[in-house]
Structure 1
Amino acid sequence: MTDHKPDIDEVSGVETTGHSWDGIKELNTPLPRWWLFILYSTIVWAVIYMIFMPAIPALPGMGYTNTLGLRGHSDRALVAQDIAKLHTERNAASAKLLGASLSQIETDLDLQQFALAMGESAFGDNCATCHGAGGRGAKGYPMLADDVWLWDGTLTGIETTIRHGIRHMEDPATRLNAMPAFGRDGLLATSEIDDLVQYVLNISGREAAADAVNRAAPVFAQQCVVCHGADGKGNRALGAPNLTDRDWLFGGEPRDIQQTIFNARNAHMPAWQGRLDDATIKSLAVYVHSLGGGEK
């Protein structure tokens, strides 16, 4: 048996591992002591952490849960405590909100700021899916960031719409109207609908075929005036839109107007009463009212 003689690198004077690549020897340099100290410290810390904190995943016989640790720490419990604390803090402001009229809320700066913050949060959770961030709307979904309203744009009117919805048949107080599907239900001939499209284009200030407008005038008077008015400016009490402006919920191109008359557009908005508490509905009304011009 021969003694093992370490291979020492001539340049650095450090023992090698015995491995060599293209004449380059691999040095067997020990790890720095400070690095080893940190490594061993983290191992000790991990063991201590596993003893005191929830750490070890579920194992057979553990009931599909992790170890609880000696401290009994629970992030879920801490979050529940924070939420309970938040509810307690909000209850006082919510009670004050409920006791104030909508007009009083808008004249009380502190209460208004609370309502706006609460309303913005509720809007993001419940309304932005359809009406878009900041109430910008989309085709078929009303823009709320203006003062063009199908129904009532006052604080009270907005609260009523939020509370009872539109065409939400389960709520007897819902906003309700129904435009006939003049083409689908055979109430008007296709040619009459095409003429009505030209009539609507004309009263909204756009180029239209004069002959078609003249033919459509008596049809409009017979079928449409009852809701949209003789001048076509609509009727908020019925939720009938103004046809003389350039604001279109479902699009104002001739094809869009033709489809509206042919098939009708009776969209639905849910009633939030029962889903949201009264304070949240009030705050939503204040927030939505603030997005537009603040109609009185």
Structure 2
Amino acid sequence: MTDKQIDDVTGVETTGHEWDGIKELDNPMPRWWLYAYYATIVWAIAYTVAYPAWPLINGATSGLLEWSSRGDFWKENTKIQGERQDILAAIKEKSVQEIIADPQLNQFAIAGGAAAFRVNCVQCHGSGAQGAPGYPNLNDDDWLWGGSIDEILQTVRHGVRSKDDEETRISEMPAYGDILEPQQIRDVAAYVTSLTSTPHDASLIPAGKQVFAENCAACHGENAKGNKEFGAPNLTDAIWFYGSGEAEIAKQVRNPKHGVMPAWEGRLGDTTVKQLAIYVHSLGGGE
């Protein structure tokens, strides 16, 4: 055993460590620090006894208080669900016009519809409902089937070309590649292009206009402004579903694409469908 080393200045025993001639004093810890340290030990033991803490083979100790964050969540969730039942019942019973006329119900429906939209609709329409090629923008005023709240509700409820709903909206543009000559398709593509921009060959416009009148006006209208009863788009507003330009228009005339929207009522229920329709209508588009 080595002799104790006492610091000459303070008279305190040192630890025996030395760095560049500097020695470390072996002063005792302050009493307040020791008491705080012991208190944290006691607190930690009490905490692990009161709350879930010690891992077991198939779980963990539940603690004397039998509290858990998951259990607390479900209690709060059950409470919130109970508070929402009256509002949800009112939404279920009322029409969309009555819901919109009630500020409280309207606010609740918009919030609920936004949540349902984020889960079920953003995959096609985008997080901001701005759409994508083949998927409509829900923020503008261009609606194939009409943008009133009732028309939006009908579309959300029964879908478009949805195979599992007898009341779904159905409209299919014929594949004119089997009906028209290639030159006629070029002519009508030039005419349709001329409604919003300049075609590659303006000399094709007169013949294309005749082809349009004979084959397309029945759905799109003589003025090409569309028909919401058939879901026929307006061809004069420069808003294109599958791409603009003569080549893209000719491709759609030759072999058209037909998008499908699910019928959401059977999947989400009438209450959620109403909230979805009200939320979409609130985005500013529609009528």
CA distance in 2, matches of 1:154, 1:238: 16
Structure 2: distance between partners of 1:67 and 1:80: 20
Instruction: Work out the CA distance in 2 between the residues paired with 1:151 and 1:272.
Output: 16
CA contact 2:16–2:23 (8 Å) conserved in 1 = yes
The aligned counterpart of 1:37 is 35
The code of the aligned residue for 1:243 comes to L
What per-residue deviation string (whole Å, max 9, x for no partner) do you get for residues 186-226 of structure 1?
A: 44455443333322110224455212223323332333223
Query: Match of 2:47?
Result: 49
Within 5 Å, which residues of 2 pair with 1:236-247?
A: 236-247=228-239
**Partners in 2 of 1:172 and 1:9 — Cα distance?**
97
> What is the deviation of 1:10?
5.1
User: Using the alignment, how far apart are the partners of 2:109 and 2:187 within structure 1?
Assistant: 48
Please give the residue correspondences for 1:1-296 in structure 2 after superposition, counting only pairs within 5 Å.
Answer: 4-9=2-7, 15-28=13-26, 30-59=28-57, 64-183=58-177, 186-293=178-285, 295=287
1:270 Cα deviation (Å)? 1.2
Runs of 4+ in 1 over 6 A off after TM superposition: none
1:199 and 1:208 in contact (8 A); partners too: no
- Opposite residue 169 of structure 1, the aligned amino acid is K
Residue type at the aligned position of 1:292: G
TM-score scaled by length of structure 2:
0.87
Secondary structure at the counterpart of residue 16 of structure 2: strand
Counterpart Cα distance in 2 of 1:259 and 1:14: 95
Q: 2:191·2:199 contact (CA, 8 Å) conserved in 1? A: no
Q: Distance in 2 between matches of 1:246 and 1:30?
A: 84
Q: How many angstroms apart in 2 are the aligned matches of 1:46 and 1:34? A: 18
TM-score normalized by the length of structure 1? 0.85
**CA deviation string 1:216-245 (max 9, x = no partner):** 233323332232122211111111100111
Is the 8 Å Cα contact of residues 130 and 137 (structure 1) preserved in structure 2?
Answer: yes
Which AA in structure 1 matches 2:144? L
Q: How far 1:45 sits from its partner (Å)?
A: 1.7
Shift of 1:168: 0.9
Summarize the Cα distance change of 1:48–1:205 in structure 2 as closer, same or farther, 3 Å threshold: same
Task: Report the RMSD for the aligned CA atoms in angstroms.
Answer: 2.6
- Between the two proteins, what is the percent identity of the paired residues? 46
SS of equivalent to 2:242? coil
Q: Distance in 2 between matches of 1:58 and 1:192?
A: 77
Asked if the contact 1:182–1:261 (Cα under 8 Å) also holds between the matched residues in 2, the reply is: yes
The 8 Å contact of residues 146 and 286 in structure 2, kept in 1 or not, is answered as no
Relative distance call for 1:28 and 1:109 in structure 2 (3 A) is same
Alignment coverage as a number of residue pairs: 287
- Please say if residues 202 and 208 of structure 1, whose CA atoms lie closer than 8 Å, have aligned partners that are also in contact: no
Letter in 2 for 1:289: H
Change (3 A) 1:15 1:270: farther
Structure 2 CA distance, aligned partners of 1:20 and 1:259? Answer: 87
Q: Distance in 1 between matches of 2:9 and 2:241?
A: 83
Identify if the C-alpha distance between structure 1 residues 12 and 89 changes in structure 2 by more than 3 Å, giving closer, same or farther: same
Q: Deviations over 1:17-38 (max 9, x none)?
A: 3333444445545544444433
